Amino acid sequence: MKNPQDLPKLSLGLFPTPCYPLEGVSARYGRDIWIKRDDLCGVALGGSKVRKLEYLLAEAQNGGCDTVFTTGSAQSNHAMLTAVCAARLGMRCVLFLKKRGITEPRGNLTLDRLYGAEIRFMDTDQYSYIYDQMLALDEELSAQGHKCCAIPVGGSTPLGTVGCVACAEEIAAQCDSVGHMVCAVGTGGTAAGLLLGAKCYLPGARVTGVSVYPDSFEDIVPQLAEDTAALLDASLVRTEGDFRVVSRIGDGYAVPNPADTPYIEELARLEGILLDPVYTGKAWAGMLELLKAGAFPGDGSIVFVHTGGAAALFALDLPGSGAPAA
Ligand SMILES: Cc1ncc(COP(=O)(O)O)c(C=O)c1O
């Protein structure tokens, strides 16, 4: 198998990110719980998407692209991180964002502008329509002599997912008792990278993806892990129980769950760590509810992968926040 580090990549973030035990939370829940701080990767407000972008933008640069397109929700973390990375590389960045949810200049939209991205709001629910629009702009700009690269939603291609395999490699070097890894699932690349990374570096460790978007990740994630393995000249050998998806969408994508707020506040107050109500807050709450239900077999540590997303705290309200801890 090829080492993920041997594929062409840029160095955009500060990796490895820290990974350490959460003593207050572990004591409260009676299980060894660790956190992998991809939110501290040193780019904007951080996030695992930077791992994907190190590979995707290397490919774009090596291909001579001067312009990068990507898409996502109006408050997309991936879009914001693409904007900052493109700016640092001197590339023009065009964001095709769904005109849904918070479209005022708050949260990530404030940062998109700060990083100089051009924003095109798309009044649609369909990514297929958005990809057609990207293609049209690509043709227009190509005719003017530019070269464009279109990164799909979430950067969850096999090449982007290679970056998340490296996250599991780091965890293996940082924590010697990993039983489970848990992450939020929005487009599937992070979970797919962890699944493949577990096979390579943490045999026996299981991956739980907490989904925040209504797609069939039970199929998408293993398929993406398999396609990523092929890129690394490896194959994904599945074992029973190595991956599961639990849904924590609640009332919808990017709609905060009132039931998550106490968990978000608990982590903030016990450990000083910020979670967002769209991805990591849902994933963290989902993980703790599974733990309370006895759904993490074995006694190995549970490693929660903090994938970033704090900008959402400055765009969305946490329902019921402010109450004193019980
Ligand atoms: C903060 C945050 N966490 C987790 C995810 C989910 O990662 P993935 O798209 O790889 O499933 C995303 C993006 O979708 C995100 O922005």
Question: Whole-number mean pLDDT of the chain?
Answer: 97
235 CA to centre of ligand 1 in angstroms? 24
186 CB near ligand 1 (under 6 Å): yes
Q: Identify the pLDDT of residue 325.
A: 55
Q: Catalytic residue positions?
A: 76
**What pLDDT, in 10s, does the model give residues 216-265?**
999 999 999 999 999 999 999 999 999 999 999 999 999 999 999 999 99
Residue with tokens 């051009």: 118
Is it true that 4-47+157-314 and 49-155 share their CATH fold?
Answer: yes
Given a cut of 80, is residue 113 above it in pLDDT?
yes
Q: Identify the pLDDT of residue 324.
A: 60
Q: Identify the pLDDT of residue 142.
A: 98
Cβ neighbours around 47 below 10 Å, total: 29
44 CA to centre of ligand 1 in angstroms? 15
Q: What burial class does residue 199 get, using C-beta atoms within 10 Å of its C-beta: 0-12 exposed, 13-18 middle, 19+ buried? A: buried
Q: Residue range 73-102: average pLDDT?
A: 98
309 CB near ligand 1 (under 6 Å): yes
Q: What residue type is 38 in one-letter code? A: D
Q: Which atom of ligand 1 is nearest to the CA of 217?
A: 11
Q: Residue range 185-213: average pLDDT?
A: 98
Given a cut of 60, is residue 164 above it in pLDDT?
yes
Q: Residue range 130-138: average pLDDT?
A: 98
CB 290 within 8 A of CB 296: yes
157 CB near ligand 1 (under 6 Å): no
In whole angstroms, give the CA distance from residue 308 to residue 159. Answer: 20
Which of the listed residues 77, 80, 112 should we mutate to test ligand 1's pocket, taking the one with most ligand atoms within 8 A of CB? 77
**Residue 96 CA: distances (Å) to CA of 16, 110, 161:** 31, 15, 21
User: Which of these CATH numbers, 3.10.20.90, 3.40.50.620, 3.40.50.1100, 3.50.50.60, describes 4-47+157-314?
Assistant: 3.40.50.1100
**Distance from chain centroid for Cα 5:** 19
Q: Identify the pLDDT of residue 322.
A: 76
Share of the chain above pLDDT 90, in %: 98
Q: Which atom of ligand 1 is nearest to the CA of 309?
A: 1
Given a cut of 60, is residue 326 above it in pLDDT?
no
Domain map of the chain by residue range?
4-47+157-314, 49-155
Which of the listed residues 78, 81, 82 should we mutate to test ligand 1's pocket, taking the one with most ligand atoms within 8 A of CB? 78
Given a cut of 80, is residue 279 above it in pLDDT?
yes
**Order of all β-strands in the sheet with 178-185:** 19-21, 33-37, 301-306, 178-185, 206-211, 243-247
User: Which of these CATH numbers, 3.40.50.1100, 4.10.110.10, 3.40.50.2000, 3.50.50.60, describes 49-155?
Assistant: 3.40.50.1100
142 CA to centre of ligand 1 in angstroms? 31
